[in-house]
Chain A
Amino acid sequence: MAVMSVADLHVRLSGREILKGISLPEMRAGQMVGLIGPNASGKSTLLRAIAMGNGTQGGISLGGKPVTAMKRAERAANISLMPQTPPLGSTLTPFELLRSYARATNLGLSNAQLGDRMGELLGKLGLLPDAHRKLNELSGGKRQLVGMCLAMVNEPKYLLLDEPTSALDLRWQLTALSVARNYARSREAICVAALHDINLALRFCDLLVVLKDGCVAASGVPEEVIDSALLADVYGVSARLERCSQGAPVLIADAANEIGASA
């Protein structure tokens, strides 16, 4: 059963403390968790700490077991991180790269089973027509979607996405996040996604964590967490949360505050 808890997590990288003792509400199977915050607030560092235990002190446990006590193979079987940078534009095709990932992680599937899994994944992310094209001929957005396939092919219990929509157009932003959310729901997995677009986070996430300078500024149900005061404090902007005609919350950012104007 996927359960993730983070308590008093410190991460130091090259002597600098990036995460300064953060604690998060318990994350449960089937949840989609959004990680938001300004640049350099520690979002990627948190995801990497969960995936690889880099420079961590205490703090993270998955299914009741501390991450630092897990062997590499055990971590690899349960956790996948999609990094910010898409796969290199080599002459490999998405099919070849995805297949080598599946085989290198010793999934033990037959070719037919693997073919089904890859076909489903590539189909959901609209990559089937490009499955046998070279990666260096694909757009940055498509390569980002390939990166998402790579993270998902071994069906991890903990799927971590670092800005999965940064290179995508509107349609694929929505598709990518709904694929991730459906994945979490249907496989009883936990998906944690670092996002810059707060509207996407409001729309897709069950739980939001707001980071600022390596500390948790707020966390909880999205609509309760996001308000003008928080946005002014964390991002230094004047913004408001309105309701759209269908009743969903929409964030409208009006202006960047003068530097030093907010607390």
Chain B
Amino acid sequence: MSQQEISEPGNAGAGLFEHYRLIAARRTMVLICLFALMCLAFLMDITAGPANLGLLDVLKGIFSPSSLDQRNYVIIWSVRLPDALIALAVGGALSLAGVETQTTLNNPLASPFTLGISAAATLGAAFFIVVAPNVGGFSQTLMLPAFAFSFAMMAAMAILTLSTLHGGSSTTIVLYGIALVFLCEALTAALQYVASAEVIQQIVFWNMGNLTRAGWTEVAVVSAVFALVLPLSLRDVWILTALRGGEDQARSSGLSVNRIRLVVMIRVAILSAVAVCFVGTIGFIGLVGPHIARMLLGEDHRFLVPGACLTGAALLSLASCLSKVLVPGAIVPVYIITAIIGVPVFLVLISWRRKEASWQ
């Protein structure tokens, strides 16, 4: 039989990469812009605040702390800088956790919060706040995050164990997560039901994510965890990209889907538990940061993973800045602001890049 051979343009391979280089250059530009945006947001964040300090004053104070008087030294070094830095670290960590969850579970609605990790952290915090008087002798600043962290990790481990035992598909993992959210919320409600009004107020306040609780220790812990986890995520960018072709496809070519899912869940658990245990619930970033990055950069994870970190950090930084200037003289919990600024940004982007936003 004579089968018509499809002509092979000479040097097809070189041409392929040539064209791709243009696409990659454009994406690198987008990454640089996102980085610049994040820096801008950070500068705005350290400038915003009730004390009347301009950007130049703050920068001068950062580069030559000795020139500052006592009051301004405290404002810059104990309030503004740690708050602004924790915004970057938590935003980056939650968004990184989000992008990895969405890809490995093949679900655009997945985020550290759909997995129940945040709800478990709240339960842990509530448990400590209600039971604390009976424990006694421990410093609240240390023990409250510790309880939140261990509950969050327990939740993540429960999901991991369930999904490994039952050989769970990605959908079952999401279902386990949502079941866990309801369980943790019910238990938190039960704790609130038996608690006094004052204690309830404390729980509610903790649950509303608030960056102003952060000091240098918190900044150091969250940044260190983020800096340790990010290179591991970057090492897996090829297989994460391959997973977007479909789980069955990836398995059929012999890619280790189970291994990547396990390590991603461990990374996500650590990232989000560390992020929420210090600052409370900041729900929106982990869901939307990755989507914004995906719309701008596509789904090649070599660009998407760093891009998601940058969008998350920039978003939370902007939100933190707004939380300080929106109501004069008061700092609105950033938990309230993230969604209020995030949703319009998100909606505009979706209508602007409808095709990139779709998920099949």
Contacts and interface: CB of A to CB of B under 8 A. Distances in A.
Contact of B6 (A131, A137, A147, A175): A175
Interface residues of A, number: 57
Contacts of B249: 83, 85, 87-88, 147, 150
Contacts of A51: 252, 254
Interface in B1-16: 1, 3-9, 11-16
Residue from A85, A101, A112, A137 whose CB has the most chain B CB atoms within 10 Å: A101
Interface residues of B, number: 45
Given A92-B298, A120-B13, A87 B254 contact: no
Contacts of A175: 3-4, 6
Interface string A81-100: 11101011111100111001
B356 interface: yes
Given A91-B299, A123-B6, A175-B6, A83 B239 contact: no
B294 A115 contact: no
B251 interface: yes
Interface in B36-90: none
A81 B241 contact: no
Interface stretch (A71-79, A223-231, A253-261): A71-79
Contacts of A219: none
A217 interface: no
Given A97-B241, A103-B238, A147-B249, A88 B360 contact: yes
Interface string B221-259: 000000000000000011101101110110111111000
B45 to A, nearest CB: 32
Contacts of A72: 254, 256
Interface string B1-33: 101111111011111110110010000000000
Q: Is the interface of A mostly helix, strand, loop or mixed?
A: helix
B108 to A, nearest CB: 11
B134 interface: no
B253 A96 contact: no
Contacts of B166: none
Given A104-B239, A150-B249, A174-B3, A91 B356 contact: yes
B253 A100 contact: no
B6 A119 contact: no
B245 A131 contact: no
A198 interface: no
A120 B19 CA distance: 16
Contacts of A73: 254
Interface of A: 51-52, 72-73, 75-77, 79-83, 85, 87-92, 95-97, 100-101, 103-105, 111-112, 114-120, 122-126, 128, 131-132, 134-137, 147, 150-151, 154, 174-175, 178, 203, 248
The 7 closest A-B pairs by CB, nearest first: A76-B254, A119-B12, A115-B13, A119-B13, A100-B241, A116-B13, A81-B252
21 contacts: A80-B252, A85-B246, A90-B360, A92-B300, A95-B16, A95-B20, A100-B237, A100-B242, A100-B300, A101-B245, A104-B238, A115-B14, A119-B11, A123-B6, A123-B7, A125-B6, A126-B6, A131-B19, A136-B358, A150-B245, A175-B3
Given A124-B6, A151-B253, 5 more contacts: A87-B249, A88-B245, A96-B299, A101-B245, A147-B249
